[in-house]
Amino acid sequence: MLHRFQDDIAQIARPERLNDPFRYEPHPLCQLAAQQVQTYLAQRTDWHAELSHGKMFGVLVVSDPSDELGFLAAFSGNLAGMNRHDYFVPPVYDMLAPDDFFRQDEQVISRINHRIETLEQAPRLLRLQQVINRTKALSETILSAEKQRMLAAKLNRDKRRSETTECHAQEELIRESQFQRATFHRLKRHWVHRIAALQEQEKSCLEEIERLQQERKQRSSSLQMQIFRQFRMRNASGEIKDLCDIFAHTPQGVPPAGAGECAAPKLLQYAFEQGLKPLAIAEFWWGASPKGEIRRHGDFYPACRGKCLPILSHMLRGLDLQRLPPLEDRGLEPTILFEDRWLIAVDKPAGMLSVPGKSDAPSVEQWARNRWPELSGPIIVHRLDMDTSGVLLLARNKTIHQNLQAQFRHRTVQKHYIALLEGIVHTHSSRIDLPLRPDPYDRPRQAVDPIHGKPAITEYRVLQIEAGKTRIAFYPLTGRTHQLRVHAAHPDGLNTPILGDRLYGTPDRRLFLHAERIEFRHPITGEVLRIESPAPF
């Protein structure tokens, strides 16, 4: 499993400490290792069809007990229907082994599935369901016709009431109305009882199906937890914890499906088991981007947070990690662009949060409250990503905050962003409409989802193309998280990430996205304000 470098690496400095798998720039040795893996994948013609759909691979540069350098390779999930291939490290736990309990329990669950399908397709049940559906339709037709007849009779009675004042005539009309209502209620009860009798017969047929479904659910849940117990993850300090223990203190409490099967945990587990010292780790995507996500062929990516953050937090314990300099500069401070008695506009620098987050990174809100202690209520009207710079509005009190937020909600605020894209956009101007939702397994990344996503619309205009890069103006009509970043990078958008996008593109010294201008109506004076801050790139 330990591969030696085919190229001369004598001039490449050896990593002193393992990089942070969640935020890194791939070490040159990782880049060489990835190239060797990619050459191997190109030779495996039997895998080309599967790999064309895309898969994450990982490499781990290690030193052996003789202090010789080499690397390990791994894939996420399984490959070609198997967990084990000679070139790659083995899984932490191989549930696909022929004699494993998973196979045996899976067969039991498969038999239950087959039994459920057989019962659901039983002729008697299908005929009964057809009769129920026809009876319901007939009931609705007859009752609807009866309601129309009653309405016509009521109109006739109203007319007759207006034409006579005789008591016995009025009493006769009342009796007629009461009789018709009673007749309708008897008719309605007849159909309710008739349908209920049929549904009772159906229920007797469905009881076995429901029992089997409950048994399947219990067996599947028990099997899943049993599987998670088999993933016994090691760390550099020699501690071993299974996935159930690792995820017990997370918000979800239990491991998500597929936990422990990503490339990074496999690589570290094998290195610890074999006495190899981890020096540098990286993961890259190979193949087409999965639907809804943004993964570019050959690009490196950080480890996923939903599945891997709790696992790797345990596995990396005992290692002195090499950390990149923090994105935020503790000396960052916004520039005031506009200020009056009611609102403030600032130029937020890249690397500064809009509102306080989980870390102690500086935020515009904290800075503003320190500068203007008299500010009351919520003050941040809208947000910019931490990596995005540009114009940000602040309200001095709750009333102003509500007014400005209403303008954003009603889409009367005009926003103008400038970005520099990694590649060339050939369409001069257009509109991007890709609904977005959070990726629950890899926050804060967003995914495109036309079914469950919220509307996200961006108009754009190409300003300049130079040296293979595109300078572009974005006009977002909605304000979803990472909207411009995803719309730029996604294959159904511009398919060209914003330069420096560490989540959806290639990291650089900064994210080249700037909120250059915002136009809105002053909540008090009614004046249309246009506040600008030229892009710093």
Catalytic residues: 385
* 219-220-223 Cα angle (round to 5): 80
Give the 3-state secondary structure of residue 471.
Answer: strand
Burial zone of 233 (CB within 10 Å; 0-12 exposed, 13-18 middle, 19+ buried)? buried
Tokens of 302: 């950080």
Judge contact between 34 and 74, C-beta under 8 A: no
Judge contact between 346 and 334, C-beta under 8 A: yes
Contacts of 312-315 spanning 24+ positions with Cβ under 8 A = 312/21, 312/22, 312/264, 312/265, 312/268, 314/233, 314/235, 314/239, 314/241, 314/246, 315/233, 315/234, 315/235, 315/236, 315/265, 315/268, 315/269, 315/272
| Three-state SS annotation for 384-404 | CCCCCEEEEEEECCHHHHHHH
Which amino acid type is present at position 56? M
CA-to-CA distance for 494 and 512, rounded, in angstroms?
A: 16
Helix or strand (DSSP H, E) at 278: strand 277-286
Give residue for tokens 């991007």: 432
Q: How many CA atoms lie within 13 A of 502 on its CB side?
A: 21
Tokens of 269: 């587990």
Q: How many CA atoms lie within 13 A of 533 on its CB side?
A: 21
Those residues with Cβ within 8 angstroms of residue 420's Cβ, 6 or more apart along the chain or in another chain: 469, 470, 471, 472, 498, 499, 512, 537
Those residues with Cβ within 8 angstroms of residue 77's Cβ, 6 or more apart along the chain or in another chain: 55, 258, 261, 262
Using alpha carbons, select from 532, 488, 497 the residue that is nearest to residue 514.
Answer: 532
For the chain, the 3-state helix, strand and coil shares in percent, each to the nearest 5, are 40, 20, 40
Those residues with Cβ within 8 angstroms of residue 426's Cβ, 6 or more apart along the chain or in another chain: none
Which amino acid type is present at position 410? H
CA-to-CA distance for 455 and 425, rounded, in angstroms?
A: 23
Q: For the chain, what is the largest distance between any 2 Cα atoms, rounded to a whole number of angstroms?
A: 116
Using alpha carbons, select from 436, 439, 441 the residue that is nearest to residue 252.
Answer: 441
CA-to-CA distance for 402 and 404, rounded, in angstroms?
A: 6
